[in-house]
Structure 1
Amino acid sequence: MVENMPVVSIDSTLFWQMINFLIIIYIFKRYFFKPMGKFLDKRQELIKKELEEAKNNLAKSEKAKKDAEETLKSARKEANDLLLSVERKAEDRKDSILKETYAQRDKMIKSGEAEVIKMREQARKEIEKYVRDIATDLAEKLIADKTQADLIDEAINKVGEE
């Protein structure tokens, strides 16, 4: 093994290695770094645009969420108001039906009372007629009996006078 070999030897090989290294750096810089830099710049711009777009979309979605919540709150309030209105109308309708029913009931009661009064009057008239007829019959019988009694008395008086 070579023991006294210098770590860096300056000779023509080193010179050519340096030139090759510089050529490789130039080629990489020219054909790889610039296009890669342009690609990275475009990619960076695209990422910036996407980040701004994402921020805008986030802001829009938050606004849309707030709008949706407001709309939902408004819809709930309207539904509640509508429900209260319907309940009030139902209560009013119930009251009017009850009033109408009570009015019909009162009308039927009055009609029934009038019918009862009418029937009572009719019964009274029939009873009066019946009593009149009985009284008439009785009076006729009494008159007939009186006439017979008078005839008998008359006959007795005639017989007594004779």
Structure 2
Amino acid sequence: MELLFEKLGLEPHILIAQIINFLILIFILHKFLYKPLIKFLDKRQGLIEKGLNDAKKAKEELSKIQTIKEEKIIEGEKQAAQIIESSKKTAEQKSGLILKEAQEKSEDIIKEAKEIAREEKKEAKQKLKEEIRDLVALASSKILEKNIGPKENEEIVSQQLELLSEKP
């Protein structure tokens, strides 16, 4: 083996020293560089995973909130439609009631006007009958005064009044 070392130009005691130096370097690098680097990378990986999980949770919450928002909007639109429909029905009922009341009032006014007209017609007929009776009595008395006596005059007036009473 010495022959091999000589041919390669290596000295065994220097080779052993270099191997020991290399092992010490590996130990130092492992202790002061590799462990803190691995610890830092693990910590960073944990932070990244936590950030990704938080982002995923936030996205899920946002999706839930969006769904709730859409449901609330749909519910609000339904309530608005119900309120509008209810208002329309109420307005239709009130307008129907107002129309009915107006029609009843107009019918009452028409009935009242007809009643007043009947009363006035009746009064006018009565006055007309009285005037005709007076005129007939006056005319008859003047005509008959010359030809007949007061008793016969009274009978003629009564007959004429009965005839007038029978006619509408």
Partner of 1:70: 71
Offset at residue 57 of structure 1 (A):
1.3
Alignment gaps of 5+ in structure 1? 1-7, 151-162
Task: Tell which has more relative contact order, 1 or 2 (C-alpha 8 A, sep 6+).
Answer: 2
Count of residue correspondences: 141
Name the SS for the 2:47 alignment partner.
helix
- When residues 77 and 9 of structure 1 are mapped into structure 2, their CA distance, relative to the original with a 3 A threshold, is farther
Instruction: Please give the per-residue CA displacement for 1:87-144, whole angstroms capped at 9, x wherever unaligned.
Output: 1222222221221111111111111111111111111111112112223333443465
Partner of 2:117: 116
**What is the alpha-carbon distance in structure 1 between the residues aligned to residue 44 and residue 143 of structure 2?**
142
Instruction: Please give the per-residue CA displacement for 1:23-50, whole angstroms capped at 9, x wherever unaligned.
Output: 7766554444433332222221111111
TM-score by length of 1: 0.67
Offset at residue 67 of structure 1 (A):
1.6
CA RMSD of aligned residues (A): 3.3
**What is the alpha-carbon distance in structure 1 between the residues aligned to residue 106 and residue 52 of structure 2?**
79
Q: Which amino acid aligns with 2:44?
A: R
Partner of 1:97: 98
Question: Between the two proteins, what is the percent identity of the paired residues?
Answer: 31
Q: Which amino acid aligns with 1:128?
A: K
Name the SS for the 1:136 alignment partner.
helix
Alignment gaps of 5+ in structure 2? 1-7, 150-168
Q: Which amino acid aligns with 1:56?
A: K
